[in-house]
Amino acid sequence: MNCVPFLLALSVLACLAADTEPERKATQKSDMSQMPSDVHAPLLQTKSPQAGRLTERVTAQLPKPSATSSPVPHRNFIDDEIFGKMERDGVPHAPLATDQEFIRRIKLDLGGHIPSSAEVREFLRDSSPRKHSSTIDKLVGSPEFVDKWAYFFMDILRANGKMGRGHTLFHYMLKESLAADRPYDDWVRDIIASSAKSNYVVASSNPIVREHVEGKPGEAADGNDLSKVNQLDTHDELAILYGKIFLGINTSCISCHDGAGHLERVNAYLSTRRRSDFFQQSAFLAHTRYIPHVESSAAVMGHFLVDDGGSGYDTKADSMLRTKRSGGPNAPKFLLTDESPQSGAEPRDELARMLTANPQFARAAVNMFWAKLMGVGIVDPYDEFDLARLDPKHLPEGWDAQPSNPELLEKLAVYFRENNYSVHKLFKLICNSSAYQLSARFPGEWQEKYSKYYARKFARMLSAEELHDSIVVATERPGKFVIASKHEDGTSDGGASASVSMAMQVSVPQPRGELKSFLAAFGESNRGAPPRPPSPSPLQPIMMMRSPVVNDRVLAQKDSRVQRLLDTYKDNGKVVEELFMATISREPMAAEKALVLAAMEKNRVEGAQNLQWALFNIAEFLYNF
C-alpha cells in the first residue's frame, strides 16, 4: 500500500521504541558472584514498567487537556481511600476523563475492543447523569465481557493443547461461570478438587491435566501405568500454580530450597519458609493420580483420568524439574496457617476449603482484578505478595509496607467476601469509582512519586488480541478464527468446524501465517509460560505499517468501512469525521482535518485509506488510557 507520511502517524514510532532501551540495559549475564537473593530478584520482583513514566510519554502524543485538576465526587469507599490519601499528603490528581476517553476505556477494559462509532455517538448524546454507571452495568456480564475475561483466565491458567480437546470444555465452563456470576471461590474450589474419568467430560479437571509433567514411557497397555506422568512433579507444579494464581504467592523458589540464605532481600515472608513446607503443601495432592487414556495401544497425553487413588508424597524422591527432594514430613499442612486436613476428609477438598477461606485468597483476587483495570496492582506484580509486609504497623526491620494502599486492599477484600465473591459486583465497584474514571492526561508537572497514589489513569498498550479485535471493529473487516471439531490429538467432537471473527472468542490461540506473526509481535501468549504484559519492541511499528492484517483491512474494497463511507458520502469532510470516530473515538481537530482533506483532494480513495492506516499508527489507537 502506498502510504503518505501523515504527521499524526509519526508519533507512534518514538512511543513504541522508547521503552526498549531500559529493557536492554536490564538484561545481564548471570554473575556467580552475586548474592543468592540477587539471582532470585528478577524472578520475584519483575516490576511492571514505570506506569507514570509510560503514561507521560503516551499522553504527550494526545490532544492537550482542557480541564485542570479539581475535586471529584467520592462515589464509594475506593474514592474515600484514594482521594483521602492524596488530600492528606498534598498530592494533586488528574481531572475526570472526558466522555470520549471513558467510553473507549470502558469498552477496552470490560469488552476487549474499542467501541463502535455508533456507540461513541450514542454515549455522547446521552444527557443522563447515570450514563457512566448504566454503561458499566450493560457491559459487565455481556457476551464481550465474558469473551475477554474467559480469555484472560485461559491465559493465566495456560490452557493449551496439553488439555487435549478438554480446553474447549473448560473454556465453556469459564464463560458460563462469568456470565452467571458464579461465585469466584466456588469455581476455584471446583478446579482444585476436581476428579474425572475423562477431562473431556469434566471441565474443571482440565487445569489439573494441563500441568502434567511427562515421565518415562511405560509398558502397561491398560492406562494404569503411572510412569507416563511424573506424579510428584505434577503435584509440585499444581501447588505452585495454585499459589500464584489464587493466593498471589510465588513459591517457585522454596520448591527447590529453603528460603533462608536466598530470599532475605527479596521476600521477607518466604525467607522464613522451608522446602519441607512446600512439600507439605504439595502433599495435599499426594493421593491424586494423573493417568493418560490409552487408545490403540498408545497413551493420549491430553486425555486423562484424574482420581485420588495415589499412595502419598515421597519427600526423598528424585525430580525431573528440580534437585532431588531433601526429605522431611509428608503429611499435608497448609502453608499459610499450618492447618492439617480434618480426619477422614479428602486432602484436595481440604486444600480447596482452606485456600478459599483464607483472607489472602480474597486479597489476591481483588488485587489481580484491580491491576488489570487500573494498570498497576496495589501489590505489584499481583502474583508476588510478601505476606510479612502487608500490615504497615507490623513490619520486619528494614522493610517498607508492600501495598501502596493497605487500607484499600483490605477493604476491597472484605467487600469481595461479603458479596459472595461476585466478580460482577467487584468490577462495577471499581469501574464506578472516580479513581478509575480519572483522565490519563495530567495538568501540571507529573512526579513519579504520585504513581503510588493513582493520581491519574495509567496508560497501557493494547494486548495482541485487543489490538486485532479493535482493528476489526474500526474497519468492519472481521477476522476468521476456526473452531474446529477435529483436534490436535486426532479426536473429533463429531460436528462441523465453525469460525469466529474475534481473537478473544477462541479457546486456544491458533493464528497462522501473517496473522500469527502480527499477534506474536504484540505479545500473544502461546500458553507455554505465564503470560506477560505486552512490551514495546521495534518490530511492532513495522507490523503496524506493513502487515496485511492492517493494510488489507483499510483498502476501499471487500465491504470495508472505508469503502462504505466513500460510497455513502460525497462530502470528504464527513468521511474524515467518521473514520476518526470509528478508529480513535473522537472528532478530528481542525488541523488534522485540513491535512487529510488536502490529501483526499489529490486522490480520494488513497487519502481515505491512508487516513485510517495513519490513525492505526498513533498512540491514541495503540494504547488504552
Q: Are residues 231 and 366 in the same domain?
A: no
Mean pLDDT, range 204-208, rounded to an integer? 98
**280 and 412 co-located in one domain:** no
Q: How far apart are CA 111 and CA 477, in angstroms?
A: 18
Nearest to 80 by CA among 362, 425, 435, 418: 435
The last residue of one of the domains, among 326, 357, 388, is 357
Q: How confident is the model at residue 28 (pLDDT cuts 50, 70, 90)?
A: very low
Q: Which pLDDT score is estimated for 221? A: 42
Please give the residue range of the domain that contains residue 224: 161-180+182-357
| Helix (H/G/I), strand (E/B), else coil: 290 | strand
Number of C-beta neighbours around residue 85 at 10 A = 17
CA-CA-CA-CA dihedral for 214, 218, 222, 225, to nearest 10: -60
The domain tally of the chain equals 2
* 264 in the same domain as 312: yes
Has residue 214 been placed in a domain? yes
Q: Convert the pLDDT of each residue in 380-399 to its tens digit.
A: 999 999 999 999 999 999 99
Let me know if residue 228 belongs to a domain: yes
Q: pLDDT digit string (tens) for 254-265?
A: 999 999 999 999
Q: Which three cell numbers stand for residue 2?
A: 502506498
429: how many CB neighbours lie within 10 A of its CB?
Answer: 21
Is residue 240 in a domain? yes
Q: With beta carbons less than 8 A apart as the criterion, state whether 542 and 618 touch.
A: no
Maximum average pLDDT range among 58-72, 431-445, 486-500: 431-445
Judge if 346 and 367 occupy the same domain. Answer: no
Average pLDDT of every residue of the chain: 89
- Write down the pLDDT at residue 67: 59
Is the per-residue pLDDT at 17 higher than 70? no
Instruction: Grade residue 223 by pLDDT with cuts at 50, 70 and 90.
Output: very low
What percentage of the chain carries pLDDT values higher than 70? 88
Percent of the chain exceeding pLDDT 90 equals: 78
CB 291 within 8 A of CB 205: no
* Co-location of 353 and 220 in the same domain: yes
Same domain? 245 vs 351: yes
More confident call, 45 vs 430: 430
Q: What pTM does this model have?
A: 0.91
Residue type present at position 301: M
Same domain, 299 and 372: no
Three-state SS annotation for 127-181: CCCCHHHHHHHHHCCCHHHHHHHHHHHHHHCCCCHHHCCHHHHHHHHHHHHHHHC
Are 280 and 294 in the same domain?
yes
The average pLDDT across 34-39 equals 44
